Amino acid sequence: MSTHIDPVCGKRMNVNKAHIVITHEGQDYYLCCPLCQKEFEQNPAKYMQKKSKYKRR
């Protein structure tokens, strides 16, 4: 199972259960809910500093 940390809120989630996956400048960002999606879309550069973190189990 692969997990990911939402760059907006910091929530750890299973990538298969993400609300949406947004690809920005070649990087996939997994977001947990519409609120995080809206926040990310308003200012993606702010969250690009927080790189995606994957953990394989």
**Confidence grade of residue 56 (pLDDT, cut at 50, 70, 90):** very low
Residue 10 Ramachandran class (φ > 0 left, ψ -120 to 50 alpha, else beta): left
Q: What is the pLDDT of residue 2?
A: 87
* Structure confidence by residue, pLDDT tens digits, 13-44: 999 999 999 999 899 999 999 999 999 999 99
Q: State the Cα–Cα distance between residues 35 and 8, nearest whole angstrom.
A: 9
Phi and psi, residue 53, nearest 5°: -125, 125
Q: What is the pLDDT of residue 49?
A: 64
Q: Where are the domains of the chain?
A: 2-56
